[in-house]
Amino acid sequence: MEKTIIKGTGRYLPPRLVTNDTLTQWMDTSSDWILQRTGIEQRYWVPEQGGVGSSDLGFEAAKIAMERSGWKADDIDLIIFATLSPDLFFPGSGCLLAHKLGLTSTPALDIRQQCTGFLYGMTTADAYIRSGLAKRILLVGAEVHSTGLDISTRGRDVAVIFGDGAAAVCLERMETDDKAGILAACMHADGSLAESLMTFAPASRENPRLDAKMLAEGRHFPTMDGKNIFKNAVRRLPEVAGEVLKKTGMPLEAVDLFIPHQANLRINQAFAKAMDIPESKIYNNIQRYGNTTAASIPLALDEAIEKGVVGAGSTVMFLGLGAGVTWGAVLYRFGV
């Protein structure tokens, strides 16, 4: 039977370290205030002068993942690039990444599922692989949030949360009868909650898409109804975790590690409590990186593999909720 397996992973963080104390020079906040509400201690941002886009970060992560997988660029049948912060309004960052890899005809697909970008990307890749349309797929999640944040007291509730970064996963078709690879997935969306987490402008439904009034009002910066997002996350994540387990018939105890999207440490702790999962089985690194959106789950996965937290025979659940709102879970088992 054809299965989708993870051949290799890689991550890349820009070198500019921004601690909670660093943020106090731009806004009325404190490290304790940020830590209490989010669990975040620091994050990494691209250089302040700009010139670095999501495809640049993705390129660095992709090179590491490809080297670990033994892939050359020509081995890639499809690039799936997940980001809410593309280098340009259009074209997509996947095409820019392909060019950086030296590719001239490999298809590239950008997806805009924000915090669930990796989950949607994995399920899309799985469909391509199982249908025979591709054998090797490079899945990248990359974000440059820092250049789009309101780094002031007005925008502090959102600005303190986000970090820049990228992670890549090489997905490959494998013929096996073992219970390995992507075992099951469940994806959902509810657009009625779109305004709970959004960036309004530039907006194609407006003419002009961005004007002086929108700039003055800060409508080109992200806004969030934190309480509503938190409430939905702590309800939806246990639901979708149970749903994906039901698809496979596996008990909760069979999952060795849960890797949730790193949106807020308090959300992940609430999920663990609701599911009665020991916190040792929940992988969190938001403390060091902040919320890197589409990059957060694969970044955590790469770390977990590097540290030996997961490996041959491990069963892992990836799950998250984010803007859209969208939410989902993917159950994956490493081969022995």
**Cα angle vertex 196, ends 261, 322, to 5°?**
15
Q: Are strands 16-19 and 42-45 parallel, antiparallel or unpaired?
A: antiparallel
Among the options 115, 170, 186, 264, which is catalytic? 115
Residue 39 contacts residue 144 (beta carbons within 8 Å): no
Query: For residues 141 and 12, is the Cβ–Cβ distance under 8 A?
Result: no
Which residue among 20, 232, 268, 291 is the active-site one?
A: 291
The DSSP 8-state label assigned to residue 213 in this structure reads H
The Cβ of residue 167 has, within 10 Å, a number of other Cβ atoms equal to: 32
User: What tokens does 252 get?
Assistant: 């909760």
Task: Give per-residue burial for 301-327: e unless 16+ CB within 10 Å, then b.
Answer: bbbbbeeebbeeebbbbbbbbbbbbbb
How far apart CA 95 and CA 78 sit, in angstroms, is: 11
Map residue 202 onto helix, strand or coil: coil
Give the orientation angle of helix 296-306 with respect to helix 117-131, to 10 degrees. 80
Phi, psi of 212 (to 5 degrees): -60, -35
Look up 261 and say whether it is catalytic: yes
Nearest Cα residue to 221 out of 147, 284, 121: 147
Distance between CA atoms of residues 159 and 155, nearest Å: 6
**Dist. CA 145–CA 224, nearest whole Å:** 14
> One of 170, 186, 261, 264 is an active-site residue; which one?
261
Active site residues: 115, 261, 291
